[in-house]
A and B are shown apart, each in its own frame.
Chain A
Amino acid sequence: MTTTQANRIELALPKCPTGIQGLDQITGGGLPKARPTLVCGSAGCGKTLLAMEFLVRGAQQYKEPGVFVSFEESEQELMDNVISLGWDLEYLINQKKLLLDHIYIEPSEIQETGEYDLEGLFIRLGHAIESVNAKRVALDTLEALFGGFKSNFIMRAELRRLFRWLKDKGVTAVVTGEPGEGNLTRYGIEEYVSDCVIMLDHRMRGQVGTRRIRVVKYRGSPHGTNEYPFLVGERGLCVLPLTSLGLSYEVTTERVSTGIARLDTMLGGQGYYRGSSILVSGTPGTGKSTAAISFAQAACQRSERCLYFSLEEAETQVIRNMRSIGIDVEPWVKSGILQLHAERATSNGLEMHLITIHKLVNEFKPHIVVVDPISNLISVGTGEDVKSMLARVIDYLKMKGITALFTNLTRAGTPLETTETAISSLMDTWILLRDIENGGERNRGIYVLKSRGMAHSNQIREFLLTDKGADLLDVYLGPGEVLTGTARATRVAEEKAERAGRQEEIERRHRDLQRKRAVMEAQVAALRADFKAEEEELKKATAKTKMREGVLTKDGEKMRRMRKADE
């Protein structure tokens, strides 16, 4: 009975929530409660901040007082460093929720003469813990502490003892340390004596820095094994987990207009699904931004808030350019329903973009979000990074039920049905814009490559930018050719002429036949008349002959009688 109980307790390892955004998600609830956690990373990757936030959140949100022992920075420095994050340490200290202790170590002051231990430190620590009844402890950093003493042998033993001691005290501890050469840690034993090891990393790629966090080890608990980007945001650290968001968002059958009437028709007559993600891709100048802004405008007209991230054009430029096709977004911007956020893709790391999106979405609570174009982000990270960042954005927006439209520039020469970031699989609807070159001109074509969950048109339409916004036209679908623009118009005219010509021909032939019939009938009449005339003549002749014969007979008798013949 007791063993099973003990087992059960071990199974459900108690955790101590850090309160740091995202960190509790990747650790499955927080750090191991009443055990030490090692946070290692080189200079400037956010160790101290993580340790401090752990204590501040503990004091503010979880009613767990904490002790921060610093071997590097003084109390005042620590307070000043985090005031910009809105953490008022002084207040917490006065409330007895936090205790800062700067332990100053000057190696040159200390002469070592034989064996010693760090019991003084433990006593000092124990005293500090007791004075605020601390449940959380942070030690920052191990190297500064142990660097003050010469005997490596004693230090290793004391390190072990320190972790053991922290465990015995029942405090959840965050101990920071620096990575050793080729090793996770300087002494090579820190990671073994800790129950949880979190690795921080600050990496430069190109000229853009990215901070990353990884849970290397977590005794007795499953944890996310990936590297997650994290940021020092305005309110502290923010870890951005990818997988923890999962695929469990609510879906709706509600539709939203694309802002282009005939495109709605192509998408089953009603437009996009609300809360779906839409990709509009195409080569340069095919009207991606127009499609995007049309969508935004439609949202504004429905009185829905719209957040528009422009990674290419300045706000004023967007407004001016869109006015040229009859879309005036300025009133919407002025009324605050449309928020244009213009920023160069390269001005920030991917994670910073991500956090900006998160932040603005949280503040503005938009119904739709547009990012134009996402392909620009490629310049800030590798394809993989961008994909994982976008996956995060998409998941995040989906979770919030926000309809998101992304444009993507397809480089000339690459197949149209590709996105450099290979994110098409994350999208629900994919509208493809392409140019169709024909007859010495270039026209825009549009079609729906895919649209999950709706019957969509398979037709190519001509995408027309008029001074009254975007419109779609049927393209000319002749035998073996697709024509647009002037070619289409010419072809249509030609066809009309051809049709008219054919009509005339038939009429002519009708008339011909009519005439022929008339001729024929005239001839028949003539023949009949001839025949009749001949017949008449024959009759007359016959009658004459008869008469003559009669006369002859009469005459003969007369003659015989006159001759008084003897026969």
Chain B
Amino acid sequence: MADEDETSYQEAKAIKEAAEWVLRLYVAGQTRNAVKAFANLKKICGEHLEGRYRIEVIDLLENPQLAKGHRILAVPTLVRKLPPPVKKIIGDLSDTERVLVGLDLLPAWKGVGNDEEEKRTKRQSGDI
């Protein structure tokens, strides 16, 4: 059990510390949700991935064939292209905690350094 945790931790750490993050945001026009999602994403990346991320915004209205090609149903959808594996997150990204969990920036099991992570760890262990 401990070994598994250790591997998971190592993997999570590798992802967190990956040198290059490529994030794709699929939207359908300049909708309220799209604008909100982009703003939220910028903020999160700025806080957690300073200097090592790239955001690509894809407007499905301009490239409708990509909806099928990239299997997008809901918009906005955030796709983590790098580091692998591919991850999908839908919504306007207003729930920061869930975005971080979704991007593997916030492993639920071992918090490191971050206030929010610590809070979460404590909450889980029943300290708060």
Contacts and interface: CB of A to CB of B under 8 A. Distances in A.
Contacts, number: 98
A165 B64 CA distance: 16
B67 A124 contact: yes
Interface stretch (B2-10, B11-19, B84-92, B109-117): B84-92
Nearest to A120: B72
Given A113-B99, A123-B28, A118 B73 contact: yes
A476 interface: no
Interface residues of A, number: 25
Interface string A96-130: 00000101110001111111111111011011100
Interface residues of B, number: 34
Q: Do most interface residues of chain A lie in helix, strand or loop, or is the interface mixed?
A: mixed
A112 B68 CA distance: 20
Contacts of A123: 28, 60-61, 64, 67
B98 interface: yes
B93 interface: yes
A128 B68 contact: yes
B94 A115 contact: yes
Interface string B10-37: 0000000000000000101101010011
Nearest to B94: A114
Interface in A15-42: none
A111 B92 contact: no
Interface string B71-104: 1111111000000000111111111001101100
A507 to B, nearest CB: 114
Contacts of B91: 112-116
Contacts of A118: 73-75
A115 B92 contact: yes
B71 A115 contact: no
B14 to A, nearest CB: 20
B33 A126 contact: no
B102 A111 contact: yes
A120 B67 contact: yes
Nearest to A111: B102
A218 interface: no
A129 to B, nearest CB: 11
A169 to B, nearest CB: 14
B93 to A, nearest CB: 5
Interface of A: 101, 103-105, 109-121, 123-124, 126-128, 145, 148-149
9 contacts: A104-B71, A111-B102, A116-B75, A119-B74, A120-B72, A124-B64, A126-B64, A127-B68, A128-B68
A-B pairs, top 4 by smallest CB distance, nearest first, are A111-B102, A114-B94, A124-B67, A114-B91
